[in-house]
Structure 1
């Protein structure tokens, strides 16, 4: 057997100290969520394909890796997203729980294929969901938890981009016109020429994007009939709670990745990190009896942050020679030191990648 250590395309090992950074990052995020009352759930990596696919929205349903379970002989699917599983838990196992129910999670996800800009197929996802409400107060809480969780994990230069996923549907009325799908695609692509050709009345929406206050003012100026007033008031209230803490922008026609969100969506970014580091918004949770209930939540993607060096921490490892008193070693660990004990007389701090060593009851930096 010629084992070269190669992994399939889109898979990767996370080595120390990066894996330790992931542990600290997830601990900080879940710790903030727990402080706000979000209790952690841990759904399985795979479920029956029929049930999982029914809850996955947008393109996520086609992202699932499927296989036949040798026990049940039914098709299973590995989750490409954990949000759908949290929704299932809230609607079934915790369907009796008083609303709203606050849940948090963290775990691996797997996609069938990766894109050019996001080459990973296996990654980590964490987040929080507030199920049973999608009010302004609920949305404000979720956005606050997301921003505070990132800050607690050491992320700086945070920015948030809001969107209104159902904006065009609201303006188009019911039923939408025959060019509705083409119009949404043109607006999503910011293709002013195509928008003008389909319906020039929507052209101002392309320009109503940018810094939040400016973009919101432009949107209000286009809403002569006041059909968007309540939505704009709501998103302004949510954004106002972030003033002075993070950079806030508004892109009202952005729908890519927000196909299943309702009145609110948002993307999270960090300075020096390529692409999104998180996403969230309001949506509907479906029950087995056809009933729906509102929800709002967010997901964070740790891989991009860790690749940018966030979550990394200088190693602080203390080499302990043979014969050190174990009570002293325990005290050092309680003070935050990582202790690495020599296992034989030839062991050295250099061999154990230690930054410090213990000599005659004192700590010295390794030279």
Structure 2
């Protein structure tokens, strides 16, 4: 029976060996993919001065961050809830003079004061890549295809990428100039909820076709172009088409042009990542779409306004779908074994467990082989 003091706070959990192994394997596969594409890893600290972190969170603020007083400086510190602003700070300060475009990768834990009902976890392992110093279709294409490659490397199949245009209403309103800021806020809200009746009541009847310009990219994009009679979105639709072509057959591409959830600071382009599986037992998940595995898009770095494109992958969610890593051969080392032979076998990829007492049962400890006279024998 657990003692009450052994309980963990809401939204926090232990990851036991099998789960931790999936997380580690998925993280390694993703990071190796980012490294292979020229993205250098950085490791920002867990804590920063609150005012510094808030200045780069582009409107998101630090309301979701745990805060505390630093006894050294007496300043308020914030425990990061997002690593992306920290990478932006590194690019704008320590790596200000590094050649552009700058390619950076990261992986680390973040914590939230509150989480949503749909995703109650308050501690998450966040991994991602940022391409800094370029605001082009080519840069966005690289980021999307890299995100897909990372998911594939982690063993996921049935990958989907859902495109959106975060600044869609602002772009169209700038051309029309016929709505007040309050009306535009109401229109955005009704588009977010996909409420046709509410959109009409808010004075956004002209935006109704946007609700139907969604679905597979080859069907939705022509509908979006048909709506864009004034060509206000011409460059954006051309960009979406080019990015979809870059993805090719590696993932299913869809479009939801009015989706803004999770795109608080993206500019003209955003995307969400999904996958079908495989599931924990290694079998396909039957085609059922999971929750979002990651998001990305184009944005401006807070504080410096430098153009960037990037993505974040939620490794915990990804690992729940990733296949269990292949079991490592585990070798039992009896007392008095040859240490040089054991070292050689570890170099060859064996995992070893050394005997500590006569009461041990090698198979109960997960061993598959035993070392005898310098050779391995299956148990």
Per the normalisation by structure 1, the TM-score is: 0.93
> Would the aligned equivalents of 1:322 and 1:345 in 2 still touch at CA under 8 Å?
no
Task: List alignment gaps of at least 5 residues for structure 1.
Answer: none
Q: How far did 1:311 drift?
A: 5.0
Select which of 334, 343, 366 maps to 1:353.
366
Residue 196, structure 1, aligned to residue 209, structure 2: no
| CA apart distance, 1:99 | 1.4
In 1, Cα distance between the equivalents of 2:257 and 2:59? 19
Q: Secondary structure at the match of 2:306?
A: strand
| C-alpha contact (below 8 Å) 1:319/1:342 kept by paired residues | yes
- Aligned pair partner of 1:344 in 338, 357, 362: 357
Relative to structure 1, the CA distance from residue 81 to residue 176 in structure 2 (aligned partners, 3 Å threshold; closer, same or farther) is farther
Q: Distance in 2 between matches of 1:304 and 1:44?
A: 23
Task: Name the CA shift for 1:309/1:231 in 2 (closer, same or farther; >3 Å).
Answer: closer
Q: Deviations over 1:185-228 (max 9, x none)?
A: 11111111112232211000000111111011110111112111
Q: 1:329 & 1:303 partners in 2: Cα distance?
A: 34
| Cα-Cα RMSD | 1.9
Q: TM-score, normalised by structure 2?
A: 0.90
Match of residue 305 from structure 1: 318
Residues 1-367 of structure 1: pairs in structure 2 closer than 5 A: 4-59=5-60, 61-173=62-174, 177-178=179-180, 179-197=183-201, 198-272=203-277, 274-287=290-303, 291-308=304-321, 310=323, 312-314=325-327, 316-359=329-372, 363-366=376-379
Q: 2: distance between equivalents of 1:109 and 1:30?
A: 17
2:161–2:252 contact (8 Å) kept in structure 1: yes
Shift of 1:39: 0.7
* 1:291-342 C-alpha deviation (Å, 9 max, x unpaired): 5211000000011122345454435322222233222222222222211121
Q: Which residue of 1 aligns with 2:282?
A: none
Aligned residues: 362
Q: Return closer, same or farther for 1:219/1:312 CA change in 2, 3 Å cut-off.
A: same
- In structure 2, distance between residues paired with 1:326 and 1:64: 49
Q: Could you report, residue by residue, the CA deviation over 1:209-254 in whole angstroms, capped at 9, with x for unpaired residues?
A: 1111101111011111211111100111011111211111110000
Choose 175-184 or 210-219, whichever is displaced more: 175-184
**Does 270-279 or 93-102 show the bigger shift?**
270-279
SS at match of 1:98: coil
Cα distance in structure 2, aligned partners of 1:58 and 1:193: 30
Equivalent position SS for 1:353:
coil
SS of the residue corresponding to residue 99 of structure 2 reads: coil
